[in-house]
A and B are shown apart, each in its own frame.
Chain A
Amino acid sequence: GNSVTQMEGPVTLSEEAFLTINCTYTATGYPSLFWYVQYPGEGLQLLLKATKADDKGSNKGFEATYRKETTSFHLEKGSVQVSDSAVYFCALSDRGNTGKLIFGQGTTLQVKP
């Protein structure tokens, strides 16, 4: 079945460091791919998405490129801030309207001043 694998955390970085959180997926067909963020005590927020191969999603300085050849959707940010500390989830949705998102396990990011 479809699945998403994320790098295990926690990831601890100093402010202004470069961030990469790896995400790979297994899916039939061509799913849409997403990154969600969960700040402490809050629900999930959609960070960015890509709906087809080679698309680049971007938001708030974060970027991720849909790589069909490597089945990957790695999240990157050039310079993290303390306020980026959160749990990040990679997810995919099947084609068709099923109401179902398949999430990775989540990666905790802690940014220190």
Chain B
Amino acid sequence: EAGVTQSPTHLIKTRGQQATLRCSPISGHTSVYWYQQALGLGLQFLLWYDEGEERNRGNFPPRFSGRQFPNYSSELNVNALELEDSALYLCASSFLGQGVTEAFFGQGTRLTVV
């Protein structure tokens, strides 16, 4: 069974541009979680989507946004990129009602802003 897949693996963008990161959850999982792993800041919760709706949001500015599609895959969009947005972005998925504590993580997208 395929795990959580994220694309692209690496992404290089210029400051001010927009980045789009994608996540495909494990088959049957309806919840998707996004986390940022920035150097020196550790892992921080970004967003949680379930059944197409945003359920919770971490302490990030509005230029971090996303959506979940009918097939439960998800996109994370980061607008007006800043240098400090450079990080590993991890996606996780879980079954409906199980919560993030039962989630499986993908390998992440390494975003570099230059």
> Is the pairing of A and B real?
yes
Residues of A in contact with B (beta carbons under 8 Å apart): 32, 34, 41-45, 49, 89, 91, 93, 97-106
A89 neighbours in B (Cβ, 8 Å): 42-43
How many residue-residue contacts, CB under 8 A, span A and B? 54
Is B25 located at the chain interface by the 8 A CB criterion? no
Q: Are A104 and B42 in contact, CB atoms less than 8 angstroms apart?
A: yes
Q: Are B56 and A42 in contact, CB atoms less than 8 angstroms apart?
A: no
Chain B interface bracket (under 10, 10 to 19, 20 to 34, 35 or more): 20 to 34
- Listed residue (A45, A100, A106) with the most chain B CB atoms within 10 angstroms of its CB: A100
Q: Are A93 and B100 in contact, CB atoms less than 8 angstroms apart?
A: yes
Q: Are A103 and B99 in contact, CB atoms less than 8 angstroms apart?
A: no
CA distance in complex: A5, B90 (Å): 21
* Interface contacts beyond A100-B58, A101-B100: sample of 7 additional A-B pairs, CB < 8 Å, sorted by A: A44-B92, A93-B99, A97-B97, A101-B45, A102-B45, A103-B43, A106-B42
